[in-house]
Structure 1
């Protein structure tokens, strides 16, 4: 497991000095930071633990004005050192940092009491007691306190051992999902060009990989990779990573952007989320409140729409839809912080439940049920909910894997279980929920019913006309798979002529019967001479409808010419007789035997070629595979 440790705490509580004592690395690197004596931007270092494991450390700024920089450093962090000055104890920014950490889902902490050499024993014990009291109702109520003094070196070795103990047996990395890195720094190195840094949230990156920068959609290629200042060929989930990129100038990419593989993440204008409104934010979260959304390494403005309730009161959890003022590239499961537009205070935070939702009606029961499943459901429930609610009915394994950030192998197992339970249907390499299939089936039959009302005597609806009438968001291949499945279930009938309803029988009235008999007589009289459809119907629209029910009695040689089935069958018999005589025949042979014209013989034989009854070889024909 590759680990990143972060710091948090009030301004001047010794975070940067502590990191220097642990690592020997100065993370306040800018002139402005050194002059002001506080961290403005993210600082990075690495630490070699007693067991020789190397971990990354992110020093996040503590001043209130730089909270968004702090949040930018937290994605990918496994453990947080909460620094508290032994002279001051818990301060306002300590509490705000703790709120932010908790809202971002961080649960593993070490409390580091700093500057202990500057206070007497009685003062130190009072501060420790106060810390315990103030953290009693937080996730840190039983967390160990390590006493340190960075300048004298007191407690530094003990802290290293504590870090080593806490990171052993951590959660497994998500290396088999597509790579994603939230950019937190961008700069240029002479002789190399553009360099970006960030924690590799998931996946694996290697030299030579093609990446896309979101939201700009610009393409880039990895020239070099560094992890902890060492050149490597690949970086994996959890590592602090520096990438030297080609095809991207410094001005083409900025902090807040996301680097990922092509077709991995869709840009979103809306997000469905579970939000916790902090207890100390007394106004609560109301409809259309404008907030600052801090997600990944980015800050965007958004409007909040509570779902299922009028508003979220202080201390409450609930569902919201965030309507964004800029697009973001995030995934289901990503955590975020909400800060007020004015005044700029932390009001809450939460987790993304759907990164590509539709606009919801606020009090629709099914919407609330779906969000509840996304929030509380098992992985199997989440897979089914995704299949049930995504825009296109058919889905591939990779789409679900990307959405849930779960390996494809695990997704395939979950889908197999759902198929076995009769909840999901598999069509080739696609899956769809049974309820979605029923909805598509109903839509298909409705189109056929409407067509039937317009053309009472037409047994078949042309497939192209059907596609133009069918409101289907998928590809032609997906629709073909669905129609074939319906045909196997005897819900519809498919033929070369189009698509039909097996439960509909065409009934002719006396007039239609008369037209049918007239046309059959003309076809029989014409014999081996095909007739143009327009001549056969004699400008009679009703006759054109009657032709639709004459399948089996006439055959369309082309879209323009028809022939009696009786004479087509005789033509096939003549072909077999000619072939038995000399194993091949010419167009002239067939024309002479049928006593027809060259054009008529050509129309019939070309039709037989398509049916594989005959096969043309240069100027002669032989029997085809279906003769």
Structure 2
């Protein structure tokens, strides 16, 4: 791993910012108010080089209880935490809340820094360290090293640097595969460059020129420049603290908590299925539909918690829940989150996202709980199958990877296995996947709708494609629905026409004798009419057809190409149109132009019929009008 991110945690005024300055030489207090008050209000950033050549970004978070949401915005996505405890004060209220957050975010690597050792006597220091170790017992940092440091005198700093290197040496390298996702924790503007956002790139990579979007506001942009630790780079990878200069966006359009992502991959949501844990020190149970402050990445969103298998969650217990967000957010399976009580504000629990785009659930449903258990703990094959099953539309492999939290290469390999075993169906083109049960369910729905449609409209070519999608398959984007229809055609279920779809057996049917006779009589009336065809009303009256039924016969002949609809008033038999085309072509081969009067004499009809025919030939670009004349369009 070439890059890592270190975060600080700890009570206000325990020396986090001073410690970072001693380690890096960088003062992370950038606001005048911070310098005047001597505490961090906003996130601060620095970096340091480790002995083995790796560069570590450092996020300095506020310690004051009023600024816990800023702390949460900075500590998500870090590789190692420095829990700073002042030796002259020991464990304090925000030390405890920050430790709860570390626990809930499952940050397993950490160092406890006993800072300000220059201010206390050795005996006192021993007592404080003993108290700290008792405080850490049973936590994720129970076995973390406790180092005695003075940011003022420099005591213990070499050992701290060495320990950081040792603890992070075995970190698994993050791959840059998959779409980029960067929770935005700061937005600002630079004169001459425009809007810049910063954050820790938690997945994927960003390159100059990449198309990106800011979610959930769905702002489309492009990467103009990239910086990592104040140095311009061509590409940024996962785990790096990145500043991204965006094209065409204003700072007021973007907020902390938004997510910068590769364009077209992530879908904002107002619901998340989660495994929720309530801290044991929480003073009261969490009731169903309780309102909470939900912290995910750099975002804080007011939400309600729907407990799926109980009416309240007792302190120290965990369960499946659906978080109903009051504003959209972007998440992936496996993301860690924290919840704080609405009022008074304190950290009460957290957990892990299981499904980032779930449907609405009813409570106490065994099938819902079984599905969540599979999504949480199943092997990759079970996970992908469960994720796809019951979905509103087929998905591509990138979407499956995003929804399951699996690596894209793993998804591709497992999907091939599931496809070979018949569990998944891959649609034509190879890009979209559907669970076989869903595919058969969608197929049955299409067959049922088309049978009903053919029964009501036996003369029509087929059901309009887009009308079918909007009626029964609203979860499908238009392009995905067309892929699904192509799969049904490949299976021999349907026949596709340019704008419609019919059951295969219907497409090859022979019309009933009565319908064939009526069509022949209607065609005959238009053929006999020639260049002076009857109106539709005259035809329907002569054949004794009511308007709706008559229009069905008329449109059948138009679709078959037997009649040509010239405009909203007139239809001509195709033979008459072709004859008119031939006569006009022959005439214009020998003359420079054709007037309406000349065309009327040429066609042997009246102006009433001649003008619509000429306008039709203009529309199909056989002729064009130049003043009062028509000329041939030269191809």
Say whether the 8 Å CA contact 2:265–2:398 is kept in structure 1.
Answer: no
Say whether the 8 Å CA contact 1:463–1:499 is kept in structure 2.
Answer: no
1:437–1:118 CA distance, 2 compared to 1 (3 A) = same
* Structure 2 residue 559 is matched with structure 1 residue 558: no
For 1:273-321, what per-residue CA distance to the aligned partner results, in whole angstroms no more than 9, with x for missing partners?
2211111113222122111112221222112211222222211112222
Name the structure 2 match of 1:394: 394
For 1:174-220, what per-residue CA distance to the aligned partner results, in whole angstroms no more than 9, with x for missing partners?
41222222222233334444333221222222333343223333344
For 1:328-350, what per-residue CA distance to the aligned partner results, in whole angstroms no more than 9, with x for missing partners?
23333322211111111111112
Name the structure 2 match of 1:185: 186
Name the structure 2 match of 1:420: 420
For 1:423-464, what per-residue CA distance to the aligned partner results, in whole angstroms no more than 9, with x for missing partners?
101112221100101111221232244346647x78975555
Task: Report deviation, 1:536.
Answer: 14
SS at match of 2:114: strand
Task: Report deviation, 1:487.
Answer: 5.0
Instruction: Decide which moves more: 45-54 or 202-211.
Output: 202-211
Q: In structure 1, how many angstroms separate the alpha carbons of the residues matched to 2:463 and 2:298?
A: 53
SS at match of 1:16: helix
SS at match of 2:201: strand
Task: Report deviation, 1:406.
Answer: 4.6
Name the structure 2 match of 1:499: 502
1:430–1:187 CA distance, 2 compared to 1 (3 A) = closer
Say whether the 8 Å CA contact 1:180–1:201 is kept in structure 2.
Answer: yes
SS at match of 1:431: strand
1:518–1:415 CA distance, 2 compared to 1 (3 A) = closer
SS at match of 1:259: strand
Name the structure 2 match of 1:440: 442
- For residues 530-545 of structure 1, the aligned pairs below 5 Å read 538-539=543-544
SS at match of 2:266: coil
Name the structure 2 match of 1:249: 250
Q: In structure 2, how many angstroms separate the alpha carbons of the residues matched to 1:328 and 1:150?
A: 39
Aligned length: 555
1:225–1:493 CA distance, 2 compared to 1 (3 A) = closer
Q: In structure 1, how many angstroms separate the alpha carbons of the residues matched to 2:521 and 2:312?
A: 77
For 1:206-242, what per-residue CA distance to the aligned partner results, in whole angstroms no more than 9, with x for missing partners?
3333432233333444333221222222221111122
> Pick from 431, 434, 437: which aligns with 2:433?
431
- Show structure 1 runs of 5+ residues with no match: 562-587, 589-627
Q: For the aligned residues, what is the CA RMSD?
A: 3.9
Task: Report deviation, 1:163.
Answer: 0.5
SS at match of 1:409: helix
Say whether the 8 Å CA contact 1:447–1:470 is kept in structure 2.
Answer: no
Q: In structure 2, how many angstroms separate the alpha carbons of the residues matched to 1:235 and 1:495?
A: 47
Say whether the 8 Å CA contact 2:88–2:119 is kept in structure 1.
Answer: yes
Q: In structure 2, how many angstroms separate the alpha carbons of the residues matched to 1:221 and 1:175?
A: 19
Task: Report deviation, 1:159.
Answer: 0.9
Name the structure 1 match of 2:331: 330
Q: In structure 2, how many angstroms separate the alpha carbons of the residues matched to 1:484 and 1:59?
A: 55
Q: In structure 1, how many angstroms separate the alpha carbons of the residues matched to 2:272 and 2:12?
A: 33
Name the structure 2 match of 1:403: 403
Q: In structure 2, how many angstroms separate the alpha carbons of the residues matched to 1:314 and 1:478?
A: 46
- For residues 170-569 of structure 1, the aligned pairs below 5 Å read 170-391=171-392, 393-404=393-404, 406-427=406-427, 428=429, 429-451=431-453, 454=456, 461-462=462-463, 467=468, 471-473=472-474, 474-475=476-477, 478-486=480-488, 489=491, 491=493, 499-500=502-503, 515=514, 538-539=543-544, 558=562
Task: Report deviation, 1:86.
Answer: 2.4
Instruction: Decide which moves more: 380-389 or 468-477.
Output: 468-477
Name the structure 1 match of 2:11: 10
For 1:368-394, what per-residue CA distance to the aligned partner results, in whole angstroms no more than 9, with x for missing partners?
222222222233333223322432x22
Say whether the 8 Å CA contact 2:11–2:85 is kept in structure 1.
Answer: yes
1:221–1:521 CA distance, 2 compared to 1 (3 A) = closer
For 1:226-273, what per-residue CA distance to the aligned partner results, in whole angstroms no more than 9, with x for missing partners?
212222222211111223334233333332222223223222222222
Instruction: Decide which moves more: 240-249 or 342-351.
Output: 240-249
Q: In structure 1, how many angstroms separate the alpha carbons of the residues matched to 2:70 and 2:469?
A: 52
Name the structure 2 match of 1:80: 81
TM-score by length of 2: 0.77
SS at match of 2:413: helix
1:441–1:194 CA distance, 2 compared to 1 (3 A) = closer
For 1:599-625, what per-residue CA distance to the aligned partner results, in whole angstroms no more than 9, with x for missing partners?
xxxxxxxxxxxxxxxxxxxxxxxxxxx
1:314–1:465 CA distance, 2 compared to 1 (3 A) = closer
Q: In structure 2, how many angstroms separate the alpha carbons of the residues matched to 1:463 and 1:28?
A: 63
Say whether the 8 Å CA contact 1:282–1:313 is kept in structure 2.
Answer: no
